[in-house]
Amino acid sequence: MTIAEPENDAAGRNRHREERSDAAIQSQRSRPSSLDRFAYARDDGSGEATKRIDALDWPALETELDTFGCAVAPKLLTAEECRGLAALYADEALFRSRIVMASHGFGRGEYKYFADPLPDLIVGLRQRLYQRLAPVADRWNAAMGVSVRYPAEHEAFRALP
User: Contact 71/64 with Cβ under 8 angstroms?
Assistant: yes
**Separation of alpha carbons 105 and 100, rounded Å:** 9
Domain boundaries, the chain: 33-158
Q: Report pLDDT for 47.
A: 81
**76: phi then psi, degrees, rounded to nearest 5:** -70, -35
Q: Which of 98, 102, 150, 126 is nearest to 41 (CA)?
A: 126
State yes or no: pLDDT of 24 exceeds 50. Answer: no
The identity of residue 1, as a single letter, is M
What pTM, to 2 d.p., does this model score? 0.68
Q: pLDDT tens, 102-151?
A: 998 888 999 999 999 999 999 999 999 999 999 999 999 999 999 999 99
Distance CA 97, CA 30 (A): 25
The string of pLDDT tens digits covering residues 36-87 is 555 545 555 568 888 999 999 999 999 999 999 999 999 999 999 999 999 9
Q: Is the pLDDT of residue 26 over 90?
A: no
- pLDDT of 69 reads 95
